[in-house]
Amino acid sequence: MSRFYYLFTLIGFFITSVICSQTVVPNGDFESWVNHNTYEDPLYWDTPNQEVATIPFIGVAVVSKSTDHESGNYSVKLETKHLSIPPMDIPGFITLGNLTVNVAAGTYNLVGGVPISDHPTHLQGYYKYLPQGGDSCVLAMLLYKNQSGTRDTIGGTFFSSKVTVPDWTPFSVWIEYTLAEEPDSMNIFAVSTAQETGMHPGTTLYLDNLSLDYSVSVNRHELNNEIDVYQDKETNRLIVFYDFNEPQLTSMNLYNMSGKKVEGSPTGMIQKERKVISYGSFSRGIYLLEILHDGKKFCKKFFFNF
């Protein structure tokens, strides 16, 4: 497919510190498969096989069950292959959403996902990658919030590789959030060749044991109903989310225990915004975050111990 290409600009971060329930990646170990006579698909996952493996005489399955696994009995194998009519290279592709492929036009449409009701911190699993001719693979996750008839992307992450990885190797990538909302759906998808042009048949990506991880290293503090502060202890950041009904005169400052201001933002009219303080270069100790908003002062102490 000529348009299998991904660019992800995923900024910001926030995580709840207490997880009441944890979402499981459906069939993330790829042990369950559905037989469609000419091909098999992993249960709960969609692939291009329905469109490209069923073409009479020349069809190819770009996703298949493999007995080369990290654990269990199977893994999923994504392989870039060449289709002779119409002539095109097609990457292996899996998704928890709904994938529709137009072979004649060389295009695809990806929508949907599966439910989620919490805030995972990592996407992790195992992979092997055997690229040809400089190909690179991508495994990505996006989280969504459906509200008022619109679907907002509130966070996500991606993992990419272009080097040969012949043995099963673990990976773990942080999920970053752009909005202080609870997601209600997610999509995970992977592709054996991520670039739009110059695919090389034979490039193969194996995946096994995909899962979501939940870290307790991030603390959430709600200063009021409109101000949320998150301390991300892995990246040494304070992330402040403002969500006011209308623009309000607001300022933010961080002080050490000697009363010296070490970081802050000038007073300005703010409605919905995200502010970040990186404290990795600060000295170990106690700090006071002060937010002035609508004539009121909100304060919270933080201990930076690295």
Domain of residue 147, CATH code: 2.60.120.890
Tell me: do 131 and 254 sit in the same domain: no
Instruction: Please give the full DSSP string across 74-133, using - where no structure is assigned.
Output: -EEEEE-EEETTTTEEE--EEESSEEEEETTTTEEEEE--EE--S---EEEEEEEEE-ST
Q: Given this model, what pLDDT does residue 8 score?
A: 29
* Structural domain of 194: 33-213
Give tens-digit pLDDT for 69-78. Answer: 999 999 999 9
- Structural domains counted in the chain: 2
Domain-ending residue, one of 195, 213, 231? 213
For residue 9, is it within any domain?
A: no
Tell me: do 89 and 207 sit in the same domain: yes
Percentage with pLDDT > 90 across the chain: 51
Domain-ending residue, one of 213, 232, 254? 213
Confidence of residue 14 (pLDDT cuts 50, 70, 90): very low
For residue 91, is it within any domain?
A: yes
- Tell me how long the chain is: 306
Q: Given this model, what pLDDT does residue 295 score?
A: 82
For residue 149, is it within any domain?
A: yes
**pLDDT beyond 50 at 38:** yes
- Pick the more confident residue, 305 or 176: 176
**pLDDT beyond 60 at 224:** yes
Tell me: do 156 and 279 sit in the same domain: no
**pLDDT beyond 80 at 19:** no
Tell me: do 254 and 113 sit in the same domain: no
Say how far apart CA 216 and CA 276 lie, in whole Å.
20
Contact, 223 vs 127, CB < 8 A? no
Tell me: do 66 and 209 sit in the same domain: yes
For residue 11, is it within any domain?
A: no
Tell me: do 158 and 274 sit in the same domain: no
Exposure on the CB side of residue 291, measured as CA atoms within 13 A? 23
pLDDT, mean of residues 79-83: 95
- Pick the more confident residue, 295 or 77: 77
Identify which of 198, 214, 286, 173 has the alpha carbon closest to the alpha carbon of residue 17: 214
Say how far apart CA 222 and CA 288 lie, in whole Å.
15
**pLDDT beyond 50 at 91:** yes
For residue 19, is it within any domain?
A: no
Give tens-digit pLDDT for 43-66. Answer: 999 999 999 999 888 999 999 999
Tell me: do 165 and 241 sit in the same domain: no
Give tens-digit pLDDT for 243-290. Answer: 888 898 999 999 988 889 999 888 999 988 888 899 989 998 889 899
Q: Given this model, what pLDDT does residue 215 score?
A: 65
The domain that holds 258 is classified in CATH as 2.60.40.3080
Domain-ending residue, one of 213, 248, 267? 213
For residue 8, is it within any domain?
A: no
Give tens-digit pLDDT for 114-166. Answer: 999 888 888 999 999 999 999 999 999 999 998 878 889 988 999 999 999 99
